[in-house]
Chains A and B, each alone.
Chain A
């Protein structure tokens, strides 16, 4: 526990920068006839910590998602207006003293499909190891949040919920 508390202090220590090393971002689409997962390893991210907190930006090219079927991926790209808005971005600010122990609750601002949605207090699991932080969690996104017309199969639309699971590894730069 002491180690974790020390980690809390070092994460928000000033000034420091965090860089995303590797990540897995996976969305899940449910349909009565299909369950589809699209995975991307193409996210990039940075965090800047100053005296009173940290600002993080993570961005994922929509074309980097792979559901195992290029035809479906192109249809997804069209449905989420990826031609016009090719990147999904996630911004969050962690205030000074954020309790980055086992869990952290982050307020997220997500820009996707030309829309901006806010998600309050999304829980993430954090494991600190020296200058490395592993962060994982699920963003409870829905297609209605981004005004996306639900694609349908055999006239049955997909479910509104499209949870996005994020697993990321960060390292700190001085």
Chain B
């Protein structure tokens, strides 16, 4: 048997071709894998970023409908593989590409920490438009209460001042009338203001504390006082209109009025001045 041996230098084109064949697997490695959720479900359309650690060169792709990704033409080296998907926390792993070896790296993404993870119940975390509406209504009514309450101080002061001239024996009926009209206006504004506080929505689970406690406690003085003062005032007015001296329970009118006015003033100060 004869063997034909050709001794000739290799053709340059053959060398280039050989080089390409040999170097191909070294340069064109592929990284692939599947992105899944903790439930095992695949995660489509997740962004997959592959950053070469040595120089920061980054390649990006996305998972397909089966959650798979593939990045080709990778040089050997260390890479940072980061997967981000809507509704999940970013997940990063380190991948080392070895010359001539294609790799498969599956990545599991997990949901971000949630309020449930912190032990909050759904009832604690879910607000409601109704609850907000109740708070809005409460604030609105208390603002009206506050403004009317401040407005009430004007006729209240005027009533107290005119009252000092309305009780004497020589007092003209006009003075008493002015005092009575101002008193009626004061009572009207007062009860209108009070109704906004009384009927403002209550917020369950609220522990009342702070200056508002004093404010509410004082209402137990000026509230009954605002009822009693006009009643006693009407009795005193009738007695004076008959030419009598104010006597009996009606003679307590001025004292009750002053105590009521003082309690009312203190009530306003209790929520206006920081003690």
Contacts and interface: CB of A to CB of B under 8 A. Distances in A.
Q: Is B one of A's binding partners?
A: yes
Contact of B118 (A34, A59, A70, A85): A59
Interface residues of A, number: 37
A169 B185 CA distance: 58
Interface stretch (B66-74, B119-127, B223-231): B119-127
B275 to A, nearest CB: 10
B135 to A, nearest CB: 4
How many B residues are at the interface, by size bracket? 35 or more
A81 B132 CA distance: 6
Given A78-B136, A81-B132, A55 B113 contact: yes
B112 interface: yes
B115 A84 contact: no
Contacts of A69: 209-212
Contacts of B133: 83
Nearest to B143: A75
B93 interface: yes
A68 interface: yes
A86 interface: yes
Given A83-B133, A87-B125, A74 B92 contact: no
Nearest to B92: A52
A53 interface: yes
Contacts of B135: 74, 77-78, 82-83
Question: Interface on chain A toward B: helix, strand, loop, or mixed SS?
Answer: mixed
A5 interface: no
B201 to A, nearest CB: 10
Contacts of A78: 132, 135-136, 138-139
A67 B92 CA distance: 43
Contacts of A81: 132
B131 A83 contact: yes
Contacts of A139: none
B113 A46 contact: yes
- Interface hub of A45, A48, A50, A70 (most chain B Cβ within 10 A): A70
- Interface hub of A47, A53, A57, A84 (most chain B Cβ within 10 A): A84
- Ranked nearest first, the 7 interchain pairs of A and B with the lowest CB-CB distance are A69-B210, A83-B132, A83-B131, A52-B92, A78-B135, A57-B113, A71-B212
Interface of B: 80, 82, 89-94, 112-115, 117-120, 124-136, 138-139, 142, 203, 205-212, 215, 271, 274
Given A71-B208, A78-B135, 8 more contacts: A51-B93, A57-B113, A57-B117, A71-B210, A78-B139, A83-B131, A85-B127, A91-B112
5 contacts: A52-B82, A81-B132, A83-B133, A83-B136, A91-B113
